Amino acid sequence: CAAVSPAGLTAAQDLALAGYHVDVYEKFDRPGGVMQWGIPGFRLPARILEEDIDRICKRCPGITIHTNTALGEQVNLDELKERHDAVLLAIGAAWGKPMGVPGEDHKLVEDGVGFLRRINSSGERPSLPETVLVIGGGDVAMDACRVAARMPGCKNVKVVYRRGPGEIPARKDELEGAIKEDIEFVYHAQPVEIVEKDGGLALRCVKTKLGKPGEDGRRAFHTVPGSEFDIDCGMIIAAVGQTGDCGELREKGLIKTDRVETDFESMRTEDSQVFGAGDGAFGGSTIVMAMHHGHKAAYYIKQYLDGNENPLPYRTPHRTRRIDVAQDIMWEKYPRQEQAFHGLGDKPAEFPEIESKYDKETAIAEAARCYRCDAETGTADYSVKNREDIFLMARMQPGDAKSQSAMLKKRLKPREILITPEQLASFDDLVFLPANLSRLVIDPYREACRTDSKLGGSIELRNPYLVTGFDDAPDEIRKAVAKAVENTGCAWMGRAKPDGDVPWLQLLKPGEEPNANAAAAMYEIGDSFKAFEPKRAHDAQLVGLSVQGPALEMAIPFALESNLELMVLDGTRGSELAGPPDMTVLRDAIRILRGLNQEEEIDLIWYGGVRSGTDVAKALALGGMAAAVGVSMAIAAGATVTGGSISYDGDRTMEERVTGAEYLIQSMAGETSIMARCTGKTNVHNLEPEDLKTITIAASEATGIPLAGTR
């Protein structure tokens, strides 16, 4: 890594924890980047930063920090590439941008980041003129104005910003801190020139007016003709932006404007061995965002070092702390625990901390207010909107009739009616009847319920589930899901053989040769049947068809005549993401087999719309022997569904993907068996149509199951 910055340190830690040795090169005499020289000690004491860096180095002995080693001076890029397998440029944005107005080259005009570096890195406390102007409205401007106010000789600090108070980009707490310290703000003023005046300076400005929001959401502004005015001062600090620069990188073509040219999607530069991150690559931001860049860069560097040229896209890993959601029964009522603000203090130039620390009790009370975003379900029953309502209700006074009435009306507002005459049937429209409503039973729910299955008389499974749809998934995903399938005793259905000892139902087209390693050869017929010669690679191999609704009338007799053992009933309408499954496929297949008096001669596997063990139980009750799981398994393995497509990100380890897939299968097995037990069964394959009722006319017509309340 080039630079011990927030991005560089974060990436170094991740890479060291992954087992790599990391050398970090720092231009200055102390590590920390902008945290060391950019943030004043009254906000971030140096000892806190040193403790953090020491903690990282102690935890990660594979990190070596080289200070006073500037890129292009003590070391060059070619040397770094020769010494190391990959290079990360996290050089920061250590230089201020010019204002672009006449007179800014005056000796009493200084850029904001240079001013902060001079004060913070050396401990210098220069005597400043009585009045200091700071140009800009970002966080650097806020730090610069507050630092200036603490310097000897300075009595008045004014911040000049070209838009209004509603548009100033500085963080709210920084802005409020500056206001509390009596910093004056001059809004709607655009600097146009710096001139000498009465032995000092004057900033010549024109007034501005706001226009409509631009593409970035910020309101544009225009100057008011004839509105020039001067602001007298003794010094000007320009904090109008930051830039990253390095002559070495500019010569190599890696810096063409004011940043390291880096692709944000891959964190790579034009040099395949060199990566970029942080403010020096993507512009000024917060420390947290720079750390995000570091995590992301480390991920892609690891993929590069592993030889993976097409890694899964990076996504911030989701982690839950696995502790009680509510740490205190009164957590909704706790107000924010404000820290006491001390302002400049008695000795401003010594940079005393501006806020008190939490004591133990206050810290616990504040922590108890945590929203627990890591435990957010995101369901319709508990959304962020509902959570906000819970907080409001918890804090309402019983006697506040107006607020209570408004909240009640909001909560009683009827939801949109989702069932329409055009709605297609789905598994949600099927419900199970409790055993005591359908037959006389004697406590079968107390007994264990079997979920084991035997497809075609020879493929033995612990659970009646097949996993499918992963032929085009990234290799990492296929391996993780296959491992979960192996560990939970299920089967794999696809064109390519999975890793591990997994029963494989091979999907192939008529005319293709089956693989001898496949437990079954499943010929994909689709919605149009044409006779063909099914083949077996050996006598022990099963053969079956994968059929859609329109082909059933011809495919089922053909399968029986050809002594095929299996049939996948494809109700997906072409894709699981296309909408609800075609429930008529299972109904029609059973009717055809029943009409031929061959209902038990071929095992039916349902595919389409299965999300849970309850859905599988319903498919078994309708006549299936097993069910294939696709999209729900992809989600369990870390997929994101956007529109009609599935994508994967690199936010999980292989172990986490295996665990997620296993958890889905385990929960499905529990649900399937519970549904069977509740209907009085001790084997999931004893579920039958009489255990079901439908709640919509569409579902009743599609499945042949009576509506609730009818016989």
What pLDDT, in 10s, does the model give residues 67-97? 999 998 999 999 999 999 999 999 988 889 9
Mean predicted confidence (pLDDT) in 425-446: 71
The reported pLDDT for the residue numbered 368 is 81
Residue type, 66: H
Distance of alpha carbon 674 from alpha carbon 535, whole angstroms: 39
What is the pLDDT, as a whole number, of residue 47? 92
pLDDT at 381: 52
Distance CA 144, CA 138 (A): 10
Enter the pTM of the model: 0.74
Res. 205: pLDDT tops 50: yes
Q: Tell me the pLDDT band of 394, cut-offs 50, 70 and 90.
A: confident
How confident is the model at residue 321, as a pLDDT?
59
Mean pLDDT of 539-544: 97
Position 125 confidence tier, pLDDT thresholds 50, 70, 90: very high
Whether 546 has a pLDDT exceeding 50, the answer reads yes
Beta bridge mates, 453:
461
**pLDDT over threshold 70, residue 496:** yes
Provide the terminal-to-terminal Cα distance of the chain, rounded to the nearest Å: 73
Give dist(CA 569, CA 41) in Å, integer: 68
Q: How far is residue 552 from each of residues 26, 508, 535, 588, measured CA to CA in Å?
A: 71, 18, 20, 8
pLDDT in tens, 4-55: 789 999 999 999 999 999 999 999 888 988 898 899 999 999 999 999 999 9
pLDDT (tens digit per residue) in 134-150? 999 999 999 999 999 99
Q: 58: which residues sit within 8 A by CB, 6+ positions away?
A: none
The predicted structure's pLDDT at residue 442:
47
Average pLDDT over residues 322-349: 79
| pLDDT > 70 in the chain, percent | 92
Query: Is 90 exceeded by the pLDDT of residue 586?
Result: yes
Q: Looking at per-residue confidence, does 602 or 407 come out higher?
A: 602
Q: What percent of the chain has pLDDT over 90?
A: 71
The pLDDT of 523-552, averaged and rounded, is 96
Is residue 446 very low, low, confident or very high in pLDDT (cuts 50, 70, 90)? low
Q: Do the beta carbons of residue 512 and residue 533 sit within 8 Å? A: no
Who contacts 270 (Cβ-Cβ below 8 Å, separation ≥6)? 253, 254, 261
**pLDDT beyond 60 at 267:** yes
Q: Between these two residues, 336 and 296, which has the higher pLDDT value? A: 296
Backbone angles phi, psi at 688, to 5 degrees: -145, 165
Is residue 110 classed exposed, middle or buried when 0-12, 13-18 and 19+ CB atoms within 10 A define those classes?
buried
Distance CA 12, CA 57 (A): 10
Using one digit for the tens of pLDDT, what is the confidence trace for 172-185?
999 999 999 999 99
Decide if pLDDT at 481 tops 90: yes
Domains and CATH numbers, the chain: 6-94+244-305 (3.50.50.60), 98-240 (3.50.50.60), 430-703 (3.20.20.70)
Question: Residue 103: what pLDDT?
Answer: 96
Confidence of residue 106 (pLDDT cuts 50, 70, 90): very high
